[in-house]
Amino acid sequence: MCVGSAHSSIRGHLEPLGSHKEPEGKVFAMDGWPASPADFFKDFVQKSRPVLFRGAAKQMKAFKLWTDDYLSSKYGNELVEVEEGKKEYRDLGMWAEKFGSFLRKYQGKERKDRYSGNFYSVSAVPVAMRHEYELPPIVDCPAFLANRRGGMRQINHWFSSGGTSSVLHHDNFENINCLLDGEKDLIFINRSYSEDFLHWDHSDNHHHSKIDCDRVDLKRFPNFKDMPWWDAHMERGDCLYIPISWYHHVKSHPGANKRNYAMNLWWEMDVQNDKQAILNGCKDAPKQPRLASQVRFTREQFPDPREVLRDDL
């Protein structure tokens, strides 16, 4: 048998990540939020257990309010960061752009757009918008908001016309992602594996697996041939908890509004040392939603006005 035939017989070779075997199962899902921050911590954070909260974002003010027309008319002059390409490749260009300009161009309908809509925005949520976005109630308690590790770190949006594909990576923060529009599919790999086992790229600005998630070369990266994985599918209005250090790959799809728009919240905590403060002080759900504008985020990176596209001035 020729070498090419042997390689082509490997299940999932040169196919998308997850084609190599069936998932171990789906990420646990529940309707809405847990009853309290303490319940969320005890059942999921402490156990490092991903969970999908079905429909949890539908009660948020921004879910219905933040249409493209509304965002453009009210916040069009705010700056957002934009990354080139729909497939994540961290050596491609990045720039700052007025939100209104991004909203005109991201669906590829602007003739003067040099990138023809082949880009997406991942950016700190403009401060001016934060009074219209509620913090998920399951993290609204003192030990989540501020602690020795830093508490609330960043609040970002992920905005595209869909069709995006991320690298396989992990975050050094706890993460809740709420989907305001479109759909997402995620592949999860347990954080127990080492970066080197997952064929890590440690070079500057990368820090992710070297695999091409859309076409995994199982000859070059053999550790993925039997890699266990879990599946998660997000629909409009769902929120997803991604525990710190869990590896994940994300594909985004457009919805009826031809966009994919998500908000994610990163925070840090010391699970062991903060445990009693949370279990004792966060037993009840907040009576009123806390706005993102009322939260101090400690590790934010905002768009640099010096990096605005010349044709966006």
Q: pLDDT-based confidence at 313, cuts 50/70/90?
A: very low
Tell me the pLDDT tens digit for each residue of 23-56: 999 999 999 999 999 999 999 999 999 999 999 9
Tell me the pLDDT tens digit for each residue of 192-228: 999 999 999 999 889 999 999 999 999 999 999 999 9
Integer angstrom CA distances of residue 217 from 7, 14, 128: 9, 5, 45
Tell me the pLDDT tens digit for each residue of 152-195: 999 999 999 999 999 999 999 999 999 999 999 999 999 999 99
Domain boundaries in the chain? 3-312
Supply the Cα-derived Rg of the chain in whole angstroms. 20
Name the pTM for this structure.
Answer: 0.94
For residue 92, the model assigns a pLDDT of 85
Q: Does the structure show a pLDDT above 70 at 311?
A: no
Q: Does the structure show a pLDDT above 70 at 310?
A: no
Total residues belonging to the chain: 313
Percentage of the chain modeled with pLDDT above 90: 90
Distance in angstroms (rounded) separating the CA atoms of residues 29 and 106:
32
Query: For residue 25, with 0-12 CB atoms within 10 Å meaning exposed, 13-18 middle and 19 or more buried, which class applies?
Result: exposed
Tell me the pLDDT tens digit for each residue of 258-285: 999 999 999 999 999 999 999 999 999 9
Question: Mean of the pLDDT values across residues 62-86?
Answer: 97
Helix (H, G, I), strand (E, B) or coil at 277: helix
Class for the domain spanning 3-312: mainly beta
For residue 184, the model assigns a pLDDT of 98
Distance in angstroms (rounded) separating the CA atoms of residues 82 and 74:
19
Mean model confidence pLDDT for the chain: 94
